[in-house]
Amino acid sequence: MMHPRIPRGRGIRIVGDVHGDARAFAAAAATDLFVLQLGDLIDNGPDSAAALRIMFGLIDEGRGLFLLGNHDLKLKRALAGSLVRIDEALTRTLSQLDDALRARALHELARAPAWVPHGCEPERRMLFVHGGFHTAMLDSDPPPVPEGRVHGVLARALYGEPTGRVQADGYPERSLRWVDRIPEGLTVYCGHDRRSTDGRPYVRQNAQGGTAVFLDTGAGKGGHLSWIDIPGDG
């Protein structure tokens, strides 16, 4: 399957996890830059249907693409009739989707890439992913998502790197050890983990000069939506 790509030379607006905060996403989408959304468009916030419509409008206009996040994958499986745990957030999302939007969502979720590399210059190499980085992402395209359990590099892309422990809130504890494996000169932009302590994207650099930028600042979960603009070559 040919995944969507970012047009060469185009400036990019990198948008963090939307989680149904359609009003904030509409503000982020009001730009001449190409919009790259890092996954988890839906669930938690008030209007996941509108968030999907905004993203699909950007795709139709050739002005954007989104990555597959873990919440998006769960929606895809629910729409396809697979067995998934339907929690309160997903129940609310499904209730907002009419038949046409369900069909469009299933189509777009099936072709959304799990990661996208971008840039050739050593000082401007970037990789966009929802959950976490793996070195294999530098040399391979995202594989098709299986119907069953996700493993390996694809699991890293969607879920990050779990420690195997469970936090007090009941969610899996996640490690940032993968940040230490980012090569020099590469910046990985991701969502999934809300690591910010000051309301701004959290930036972490490793000893060899690789950088991770976490853009999830809590949209749809009591926080706000963050984005970063990267100028084009022109």
Whether residue 3 is predicted with pLDDT greater than 60 in this model: the reply is no
Any idea what the Cα angle at residue 112 is, between residues 106 and 116, rounded to 5°? 175
Tens of pLDDT, residues 123-165: 679 999 999 999 999 988 898 888 878 899 999 999 999 887 8
Residue 1's pLDDT is what? Answer: 47
CATH class of 12-230: alpha beta
Residue 121's pLDDT is what? Answer: 66
In degrees and rounded to multiples of 5, residue 158 shows phi and psi of -90, -35
* pLDDT classification of 86: cutoffs 50, 70, 90: confident
Greatest CA separation found in the chain? 50
C-beta separation of 43 from 90 below 8 A: yes
How far apart (Å, rounded) are the C-alpha atoms in residues 137 and 216? 21
Of residues 149, 123, 124, 155, the one with CA closest to residue 137: 155
102-134 b/e with 16+ CB inside 10 Å = b? bebbbebbeebbbbbbbbeeeeebbbbbbbbbb
Cα separations in angstroms, 70 against 18, 82, 96, 139, 154? 13, 15, 19, 22, 11
Whether residue 167 is predicted with pLDDT greater than 90 in this model: the reply is no
Q: What is the pTM of this model?
A: 0.94
Tens of pLDDT, residues 36-65: 999 999 999 999 999 999 999 999 999 999
Of residues 127, 137, 108, the one with CA closest to residue 1: 108
The stretch 159-180 carries a mean pLDDT of 85
Whether residue 122 is predicted with pLDDT greater than 80 in this model: the reply is no
Number of Cβ within 10 Å of residue 92's Cβ equals: 17
In degrees and rounded to multiples of 5, residue 90 shows phi and psi of -70, -35
* pLDDT classification of 10: cutoffs 50, 70, 90: confident
* pLDDT classification of 120: cutoffs 50, 70, 90: low
